[in-house]
């Protein structure tokens, strides 16, 4: 069984969610006997939160420079919370109750994923000259998507990897017909391709 982990990746938090989470952590850890000497000190975390909140207020005007400053202060806040999270992880020994008492959230334990099903919603859309946009429905458990294409008259597929379920191909031969397919890649070595789609390039 895996040791519970403190969630220290805040990239999916909205700006306001990050602000709320940071404040909740400071409140939960203030005077918390299970975390007597936070590293970094809570005073430093509070100062970073205040700077971030100031940045949020100024960025609300939409000013480009203010938004850049806010983004930098967000990085500062994420970094200091990450350091504090590592302290909580070490101090708690992975005890879920102690982690929760710190105000931090716990990372979800990934479930083993078997072979991914055949991709659905695969689309091939001509764009500009020599360009083709490929898109497929997102698949839970897919780490990357392997898009493949070739001239219809060719035998070897050209592979393009993407962490997203969309890809724009460029440099294709105008007026030529190509074949396209995609396969999501997860934990399993067993892979099932989409149906092939043929299309002419603009």
Please report the pLDDT score of residue 189 as a whole number. 81
Tell me what the mean pLDDT of segment 166-179 comes to: 95
Which structural domain range is residue 161 located in? 123-200
Select the more confidently predicted residue: 10 or 148: 148
Beta bridge partners of 41: none
Taking only the tens place, the pLDDT of each residue in 42-85 is: 999 999 999 999 999 999 888 899 999 999 999 999 999 999 99
Residue 10 lies in a domain: no
Q: Answer yes or no: do 92 and 19 share one domain.
A: yes
Residue 18, classed as helix, strand or coil, is helix
Q: Last residue of some domain: 66, 101, 136? A: 101
Joined together, the tokens standing for residue 49 give 């939160």
Residue 145, classed as helix, strand or coil, is strand
- At 1, the pLDDT band (50, 70, 90 cuts) reads very low
Q: Answer yes or no: do 131 and 86 share one domain.
A: no
Strands 158-162 and 197-200: unpaired
25 has pLDDT over 60: yes
Cα dist from 104 to 1, 88, 114, 133, whole Å: 21, 8, 30, 40
Residue 44 lies in a domain: yes
Residue 3 lies in a domain: no
Residue listed under structure tokens 């403190």 = 6
Q: Answer yes or no: do 37 and 95 share one domain.
A: yes
Q: Last residue of some domain: 69, 101, 133? A: 101
Number of domains, the chain:
2
Helix H or strand E encompassing 90:
helix 64-92
Q: Answer yes or no: do 57 and 27 share one domain.
A: yes
Residue 96 lies in a domain: yes
168 has pLDDT over 60: yes
Please report the pLDDT score of residue 109 as a whole number. 58
Residue 111 lies in a domain: no
111 has pLDDT over 60: no
Residue 8 lies in a domain: no
Assign residue 191 the CATH number of its domain.
2.60.40.10
Residue 117 lies in a domain: no
Cα dist from 115 to 135, 136, 183, whole Å: 21, 17, 11
């Amino acid at each position: 069984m895996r040791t519970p982990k403190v969630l220290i990746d805040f990239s999916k938090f909205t700006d306001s969610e990050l602000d709320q989470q940071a404040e909740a952590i400071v409140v939960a850890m203030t005077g918390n006997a299970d975390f007597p000497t936070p590293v970094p000190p809570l005073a430093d975390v509070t100062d970073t939160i205040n700077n971030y909140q100031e940045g949020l207020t100024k960025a609300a005007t939409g000013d480009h420079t203010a938004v850049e400053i806010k983004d930098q202060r967000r990085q500062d806040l994420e970094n200091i919370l990450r350091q504090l999270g590592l302290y909580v992880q070490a101090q708690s020994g992975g005890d879920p109750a102690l982690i929760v008492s710190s105000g931090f959230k716990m990372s979800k334990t990934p479930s083993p994923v078997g072979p991914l099903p055949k991709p659905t919603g695969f689309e091939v859309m001509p764009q500009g000259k020599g360009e083709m946009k490929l898109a497929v429905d997102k698949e839970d458990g897919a780490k990357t998507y392997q898009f493949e294409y070739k001239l219809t008259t060719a035998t070897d597929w050209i592979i393009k990897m993407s962490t997203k379920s969309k890809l724009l191909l460029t440099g294709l031969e105008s007026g030529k017909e190509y074949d396209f397919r995609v396969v999501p890649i997860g934990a399993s070595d067993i892979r099932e391709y989409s149906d092939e789609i043929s299309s002419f390039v603009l």
